[in-house]
A and B are shown apart, each in its own frame.
Chain A
Amino acid sequence: MDLSVRIGALTLKTPLLSASGCFGYGVEYAGVVDLSSLGAVVVKGLFLNERSGHPPPRIVETPAGMLNAIGLQGIGVRRFVREKLPELRKRGATVIVNVCGTTIDEYVEVTRILSDADGVAAIELNISCPNIKEGGISFGCDLGNTHQVVSAVRRATTLPLIPKLTPNVTSVASFAKAAEEAGADAVSLVNTFLAMAIDVETRRPRLSNVMGGLSGPAIRPIAVRMVYECSRLVRIPVIGIGGITSAADVVEFVIAGATAVQVGTASFVDPFIWGKLEAGVRDYMTRHRIERIADLTGTVDVPGEKRT
């Protein structure tokens, strides 16, 4: 049974990846998870410099989900390379780094530093964080800007480049297409949905940042739809993200068109989820006599449509 998948030139052991911002720098989980058993550890978003993030409260629970406005608290790319990357390498993790920027120059510089470091397998380009004012989502909500930032980073690295897309646009698929045309090796989607919750007793927003990003099972059907749409429009692999909590959810994203998936909120609830998901996917493959997980990608059977 073959669980490996290909993202550009990169082969991943399994299609199960941690979602950026939901797994710290990976090292936090080294004691409970064999980091080398994941398809990849996608680490928390990094800017050039340290960022303190938003004041608490930074999360609030909502039906089948949660809002977060962490504000990309982080140690900066140089400290990551110095303090975290060696440990991740020692653990045998395949490391994908989520790269943030407030300007195109910053995205390029962070990417260069990571490309020069030993042990980074790919770059996920964060053009979709809903929680910071400058940079981030302003690149991800404009087709021209998306093309521009992806092109610039493309010229700066030979590592597989994976722009992470926001669902807070009219057509995610058009952004996937723009990313592909700019030289992306894959796209990951979706980041969180911009959302808000209010305490009606006090009339105050429940997050200090007023708005935050919705994640968890609540968003899953929308994310599945977006992965389906994007994967039909682009030729590059799509990495599906959004409310995965079970092996059946993993399989649903793959059938919709995902080559791999990322799991975020569910790993907050169950840090031991990875082995359970892999076992469940293997069980599904056994029951359906699927030898290679890659063969399952995009096999949704829409009545009246010719299967590809």
Chain B
Amino acid sequence: MPVDIDAEVLASTRLSDDYAVVAFRAPELARAMRPGQFVMIRAAAGDTPLLRRPYSFFERLRGPAGEIVGFSILNKRVGVGSRLIADAAPGSRLSCLGPLGRPFSPPPAGSEAWMVAGGTGLAPFATLSEDLAAAGISGRLFYGARSGVEIFCVDRFERMGVRVTLATEDGTLGERGRVTVPLARELAARPSALPAMVYACGPEAMLEAVGALAARHGRACEVATERRMGCGMGGCYSCVIRVRALEGGTRYARSCVEGPVFAAEDIVWDDRRL
């Protein structure tokens, strides 16, 4: 069950003009969270901005003895809420509601985990990689961004034993082009007898493309979606995404309670891009 914690901001570390890692002291939340879940953060007390903002859990933060003391988020300045959160002063407190939503499923026994991240879509893969490493599961990360200045924390993943493949649209780091290009090549090269489960988080066009590639190569695929949310609890029906219905046809599913992680094959990508 979710809890609401007035969490102390430990630090906001700027990674670039737009990106920052914001760390919170909230051991209850960080211990309870599973990779792929999210937290609703209130950017300020008062009426404006009114609604909380949803963030993937990025890192689990640990104390000197390895104990979990908090979590961080990977924040991109896109509007008033994300700006306030990035600029939050250390020592100040922000209300954090979570953990919320459906997490990633673990890969089947003997399977590798192939993670595909676009931009801030990197966030859920830090804790997933940590859990994979703890379970002795091999991980790969295909990580794409517009430019090399928007690629972060690669060493963190490599330290956890994750093999990282980079792609940038301007070619300043890794391969030039979309991250789906090396993913397609590696999926084609992997013998079908060697299992791999694909996980993706990033822009919806990327999620759609990754889901299609995984299906073409017969790999199970889960995608973590990001829709505009009101409450994060299933109360407002704002964050819906079109999915295939069990009884045939399609329906709108609330991404806060049925997601944000969905099986890629369940999603119908027919809505206007957000």
Binding site for B on A (CB under 8 A): 21-24, 28-29, 31-32, 44, 52-53, 55-61, 63-66, 68, 70, 73, 208, 216-218, 245, 265, 267-272
Supply 21 A–B pairs (Cβ within 8 Å), ascending by A. Answer: A22-B236, A24-B237, A28-B235, A52-B251, A53-B237, A55-B272, A56-B227, A60-B228, A66-B50, A66-B230, A68-B238, A73-B240, A217-B47, A217-B50, A268-B52, A268-B231, A268-B235, A268-B236, A269-B50, A269-B51, A271-B231
Known: A208-B272, A216-B50. A29 touches B238 (CB 8 A): no
Q: Is A68 a contact of B272 with CB atoms below 8 Å?
A: no
> Per-residue CB proximity of B249-274 to A under 8 Å, as 1/0?
00110000100000000000001101
A32–B47 alpha-carbon span in the complex (Å) = 23
Interface of A is mostly: loop
Closest Cβ of chain B to A137, distance in Å, is 19
Q: Total interface residues on B, using CB and 8 Å? A: 31
* B216-244, CB < 8 A from A: 227-228, 230-231, 233-241
A208–B235 alpha-carbon span in the complex (Å) = 20
* B68-113, CB < 8 A from A: 95, 97
Known: A28-B257, A55-B271. A64 touches B50 (CB 8 A): yes
A22–B252 alpha-carbon span in the complex (Å) = 17
Partner of B48, one of A53, A63, A265, A267: A63
Q: Is A56 a contact of B271 with CB atoms below 8 Å?
A: yes
A269–B42 alpha-carbon span in the complex (Å) = 8
Residue B171 is within 8 A (CB to CB) of chain A in the complex: no
Q: Is A53 a contact of B50 with CB atoms below 8 Å?
A: no
Nearest chain-B residue to A73 (Cβ)? B237
Q: Is A59 a contact of B48 with CB atoms below 8 Å?
A: no
Residue B1 is within 8 A (CB to CB) of chain A in the complex: yes
A58–B239 alpha-carbon span in the complex (Å) = 8
Partner of B50, one of A29, A58, A61: A61
Residue B2 is within 8 A (CB to CB) of chain A in the complex: yes
A23–B231 alpha-carbon span in the complex (Å) = 9
Residue B208 is within 8 A (CB to CB) of chain A in the complex: no
List residues of chain A with CB within 8 A of the CB of B42.
269
Known: A58-B240, A267-B235. A52 touches B252 (CB 8 A): yes
Residue B4 is within 8 A (CB to CB) of chain A in the complex: yes
Q: Is A59 a contact of B236 with CB atoms below 8 Å?
A: yes
A260–B233 alpha-carbon span in the complex (Å) = 25
Known: A22-B235, A61-B50, A66-B51. A56 touches B4 (CB 8 A): no
List residues of chain A with CB within 8 A of the CB of B136.
none
Given contacts A22-B235, A68-B236, A70-B237, 15 further A-B contacts (CB under 8 A): A21-B236, A29-B233, A31-B1, A32-B2, A53-B237, A56-B239, A58-B237, A59-B228, A60-B228, A216-B50, A217-B47, A267-B235, A269-B50, A271-B231, A272-B4
List residues of chain B with CB within 8 A of the CB of A52.
251-252
> Per-residue CB proximity of B146-170 to A under 8 Å, as 1/0?
0000000000000000000000000
Closest Cβ of chain B to A28, distance in Å, is 4
Closest Cβ of chain B to A30, distance in Å, is 10
A269–B151 alpha-carbon span in the complex (Å) = 32
List residues of chain B with CB within 8 A of the CB of A208.
272
A249–B246 alpha-carbon span in the complex (Å) = 44
A24–B252 alpha-carbon span in the complex (Å) = 14
Closest Cβ of chain A to B149, distance in Å, is 23
Partner of B228, one of A28, A57, A217: A57
Nearest chain-A residue to B49 (Cβ)? A61
A123–B228 alpha-carbon span in the complex (Å) = 31
Q: Is B51 a contact of A64 with CB atoms below 8 Å?
A: no
A228–B134 alpha-carbon span in the complex (Å) = 62
Q: Is A56 a contact of B228 with CB atoms below 8 Å?
A: yes
Partner of B4, one of A28, A55, A217, A271: A271
Closest Cβ of chain B to A93, distance in Å, is 15
Q: Is A24 a contact of B272 with CB atoms below 8 Å?
A: no
Q: Is A56 a contact of B240 with CB atoms below 8 Å?
A: yes
A268–B227 alpha-carbon span in the complex (Å) = 16
Partner of B238, one of A23, A31, A32, A59: A59
A28–B233 alpha-carbon span in the complex (Å) = 7
Closest Cβ of chain B to A56, distance in Å, is 6
Q: Is A29 a contact of B51 with CB atoms below 8 Å?
A: no
A68–B230 alpha-carbon span in the complex (Å) = 10
Q: Is B252 a contact of A269 with CB atoms below 8 Å?
A: no
List residues of chain A with CB within 8 A of the CB of B50.
61, 64-66, 216-217, 265, 269
Closest Cβ of chain B to A62, distance in Å, is 8
Closest Cβ of chain A to B206, distance in Å, is 18
A22–B49 alpha-carbon span in the complex (Å) = 18
Closest Cβ of chain B to A248, distance in Å, is 14
A282–B47 alpha-carbon span in the complex (Å) = 24
Closest Cβ of chain A to B92, distance in Å, is 18
Nearest chain-A residue to B81 (Cβ)? A61
A272–B98 alpha-carbon span in the complex (Å) = 12
